[in-house]
Structure 1
Amino acid sequence: MRSWSKSSILKNKWCQFFSVACTAGSLGYAVAKYQSSVNDHTSIKTSGIQNDGWSCQNFKDDGICSRFPSSLFPQISAATKVQDSLITRTEDLVSEPSHESPRITQIMRYGFPSLTNVRSLDDFVISYDTRTRIPHWVFEHLTAQNVAKNDTVDRSKSDFHEDGSIHDYFRSTNQDYKRSGYDRGHMAAAGNHRLNQRHCDQTFLLSNMAPQVGRGFNRDKWNELEHHCRQLTRKSRNVYVCTGPLFLPRSEDDGNLYVKYRVLGSNHVAVPTHFFKVLLIESESRDMHLESYLLPNAAIESSTPLSTFLVPVEVIERASGLLLFDKINKVKFKTVNGKSIGWF
């Protein structure tokens, strides 16, 4: 639920950042203009969940949990009535789950961005898009414990493999990526799941992948962002990460906006134009911080700082159709994208 207590201040900031979006209601144009500014600065060249009271303790062999704990459902924000979002709250009503809680309850503490085709694995949660053959979003909960180096876990022992829980019609295969020129890019990073080999292996499910430019992006700037997420756990109590693809419009020679993207292989795996990561960082003192990144799926100069790709979270929400961490009253955030909101 979105509850801005200083809506006029935020509206002004939003309008200043994306004046066209505020006056004409054109998100596509605003994002296109933003991307143009990014290019100038970076030299880029280019549901159904059923509440049946069952606990999510017993996983199938493929790691997919088909049932969810009933205690989770009051927190599902995608099912919240619109009028409820108008209620201004002054307290954070979502208490921290205990370590004994089902893992999905811990990961999805602040609500689901959407409820489409949700799958819970041992240490992360996926919403899978059967049309594009890539995730809608992937959610992770990182702590210093689950990202710590573990000599018993070796990612070189993990193989990219199909997700057997997805119907043959809608799953991607290794053959789709072969000789495509694109990497199989992790949405939930292997380096974020080091408690045991099984957790690492599950990050290599193809349902956790999306085609990414390799050199300059997946192996470089995107990897740098993943490393940043892990670094945050050193001084934070919890780090919640939502990652996903975007398909953003670009202006063509005729002056109109178009969404165009390549597909790979016989299964037509969609190649996103952009990727996002939104981070909710909870300090040991329980202060809340938000960081939201939007990166083009293109080679990026190594000297370009990650801060170049910080955008208002509303840009990502509007473009993706998702609501991110909306169970938190935004007055609870001490900083957004490294800057004080102004009410502390």
Structure 2
Amino acid sequence: MVKWGCRSPTITLSKSRTQCCSCVCLAAGVLFLCRSTTPRKKIQDKPFSPDKPPPPRPNLHHSRGWFTQPPSHPPLKPLNNMSKSTIAVIAAVSAGAGAAATATVLSLRPENKHTEAPQPTASSSLPSSTPIVPVPASQIFPSPGADNNIKGPAPVNPSGLFEYGFPGPVADLATRQGLISSYDRRTRNPHWVVEHITPESLSRRDGDRKHSTFLEDDSIPEKFRAKLKDYFRSGYDRGHQVPAADCKWSQTAMDETFYLSNMCPQVGEGFNRDYWAHFEDFCRRLTGTYPSVRIVTGPLYLPQKDPKDNKWYVKYEVMGNPAPNVAVPTHFYKVIFAEDGKAGGQVAVGAFVMPNAVIPNNKPLQEFEVPLEIVERASGLEFASKLPVQKRKRLCAETSCSLIIKEYADRQKAFAKK
């Protein structure tokens, strides 16, 4: 259980309501956006013995940890919708009115000079070889500067611990034919999974899911791995983050979508088999307008407000067999980059957050659209730091963000008869 405290100033929304200047509440959950304004005092590194320099630091991704406390209140009920008034609060408080203002905020952030990431291309053809996964540049522990207050060498050497191994955190990167994923060892779910779909890739029919089976990912250490038995009689679906239907162009590509490192526990009826499936179909239909569509999908674990003590808590189920092992996300996100196919052309960007709960099929998709910065703050990830603001467009302003429920249901029935 994680307690969230907020000391940020508030703004007046009406005579009887105030809103924290740094917090945003979604009807589908709450994204906690508080930032401390207190400057941190820089701690001077102390020198260590020069005859034993520290080893180089491995290439690792940073992951934020949480302070946990035992639960002291009854379970919170999930919030399953997102009102238009809430979207207005998000736009006014966090990122301005719409995605354009969000893009402006992101453009002011300094780029990480130690990380190399590929520029998105507008190619609509399938890759001829396995894509290269971007990894951070080597990070070396700097030698501590001289300290005139210390006589002789420092009496301690904390970096000596790394002779026994580096504790992490580690993000297990996997490069498959049709996807690239980053795995979170703590939750046994992916941080994110990236895919690329085109009209050509969706037109091929060389893969059939009846030949695919769910698999544990043996590239992940056994003690951090999600297991097939964890899902057995759990009450949750093994929810694809990159859907198998997006990888019909190759049987191998389709098979690789069935690794559990591409799965998260999802509510079945009413979500994974319904609204979420229709949302995946919406993404595929974008290739009728855009020759190249790139999608990032992943889980979120969002705080909710306890009405009893008026405090925020992060609470989620952990399932497993025989012991708890896999975290059940409270929400899921998709960030969509629809490219116009021109060199240096425009990119339509759309970000969506949905609760891991039953969603009525008549719920408008745009009620789950959020500014990109909302997803970034909630996930701790950055998706478009190298995409200039002037090249961005809001996806739902460029095309109709709506689901086709009946057509998709009929297609599923036809597929079952084959």
Q: TM-score, normalised by structure 1?
A: 0.70
Greater shift after overlay, 328-337 or 313-322?
A: 328-337
Aligned to 1:244: 298
Aligned to 1:291: 350
Aligned to 2:331: 274
**How far off its partner does 1:327 sit?**
1.3
- Aligned equivalents of 1:189, 1:38: Cα separation in 2: 24
Aligned to 1:117: 172
**How far off its partner does 1:149 sit?**
4.5
- Unpaired segments of 5 or more residues in structure 1? 1-14, 42-81, 87-91, 109-114
Identity %: 38
Q: Check the 8 A contact 2:337/2:347 in 1, yes or no.
A: yes
**How far off its partner does 1:32 sit?**
4.0
- Unpaired segments of 5 or more residues in structure 2? 1-11, 32-77, 85-108, 135-169, 400-418
Aligned equivalent of 2:81, options 38, 47, 61? 38
Aligned to 1:311: 370
Aligned to 1:262: 317
Task: Name the aligned partner's letter for residue 23 of structure 2.
Answer: S
Greater shift after overlay, 229-238 or 279-288?
A: 279-288
Task: Name the aligned partner's letter for residue 257 of structure 2.
Answer: T
Q: Check the 8 A contact 2:171/2:185 in 1, yes or no.
A: no
1:121-167 CA distances to partner (integer Å, 9 max, x unpaired)?
111100000111110000011111112250x3211221111001011
- Aligned equivalents of 1:100, 1:38: Cα separation in 2: 38
1:276-307 CA distances to partner (integer Å, 9 max, x unpaired)?
00000012453310111100000011111212
Aligned to 1:45: none
- Indicate how the Cα distance of structure 1 residues 290 and 84 shifts in structure 2: closer, same or farther if over 3 A, else same: closer
- Indicate how the Cα distance of structure 1 residues 181 and 332 shifts in structure 2: closer, same or farther if over 3 A, else same: same
Aligned to 1:214: 268
Task: Name the aligned partner's letter for residue 270 of structure 1.
Answer: A
- Aligned equivalents of 1:38, 1:29: Cα separation in 2: 8
Greater shift after overlay, 258-267 or 28-37?
A: 28-37
- Aligned equivalents of 2:262, 2:385: Cα separation in 1: 24
- Aligned equivalents of 2:189, 2:225: Cα separation in 1: 8
Aligned equivalent of 1:190, options 219, 229, 244? 244
Task: Name the aligned partner's letter for residue 26 of structure 1.
Answer: C
**How far off its partner does 1:233 sit?**
1.1
Aligned equivalent of 1:104, options 120, 131, 137? 131
Secondary structure, in 3 states, of the residue corresponding to 1:172? coil
Q: Check the 8 A contact 2:80/2:355 in 1, yes or no.
A: no
- Aligned equivalents of 1:94, 1:196: Cα separation in 2: 23
Determine whether 1:232 maps to 2:232: no
- Indicate how the Cα distance of structure 1 residues 93 and 230 shifts in structure 2: closer, same or farther if over 3 A, else same: closer
1:220-267 CA distances to partner (integer Å, 9 max, x unpaired)?
111011111111112212101000000000001211000000011135
- Indicate how the Cα distance of structure 1 residues 29 and 234 shifts in structure 2: closer, same or farther if over 3 A, else same: closer
Secondary structure, in 3 states, of the residue corresponding to 2:229? helix
- Indicate how the Cα distance of structure 1 residues 138 and 294 shifts in structure 2: closer, same or farther if over 3 A, else same: same
- Indicate how the Cα distance of structure 1 residues 30 and 235 shifts in structure 2: closer, same or farther if over 3 A, else same: closer
- Indicate how the Cα distance of structure 1 residues 309 and 158 shifts in structure 2: closer, same or farther if over 3 A, else same: same
Determine whether 1:131 maps to 2:186: yes
- Aligned equivalents of 1:204, 1:37: Cα separation in 2: 28
Greater shift after overlay, 232-241 or 283-292?
A: 283-292
- Indicate how the Cα distance of structure 1 residues 84 and 138 shifts in structure 2: closer, same or farther if over 3 A, else same: closer
Aligned to 2:90: none
- Aligned equivalents of 2:119, 2:173: Cα separation in 1: 24
**How far off its partner does 1:104 sit?**
2.0
Determine whether 1:159 maps to 2:213: yes
**How far off its partner does 1:93 sit?**
6.8
- Alignment of structure 1 residues 3-82 onto 2, 5 Å: 20=19, 23=21, 25-27=22-24, 32=29, 38=81
Aligned to 1:144: 199
Task: Name the aligned partner's letter for residue 158 of structure 1.
Answer: S
Task: Name the aligned partner's letter for residue 316 of structure 1.
Answer: V
The alignment's C-alpha RMSD in Å is: 3.1
Q: TM-score, normalised by structure 2?
A: 0.59
Task: Name the aligned partner's letter for residue 357 of structure 2.
Answer: A
1:311-334 CA distances to partner (integer Å, 9 max, x unpaired)?
111111000000012210122113
Task: Name the aligned partner's letter for residue 334 of structure 1.
Answer: K
Aligned length: 270
Aligned to 2:414: none
Aligned to 2:384: 325
Secondary structure, in 3 states, of the residue corresponding to 1:184? strand
Q: Check the 8 A contact 1:277/1:294 in 2, yes or no.
A: yes
- Aligned equivalents of 1:299, 1:36: Cα separation in 2: 10
1:173-205 CA distances to partner (integer Å, 9 max, x unpaired)?
111111111000000110111111110000000
- Aligned equivalents of 2:180, 2:209: Cα separation in 1: 19
**Higher relative helix content:** 1
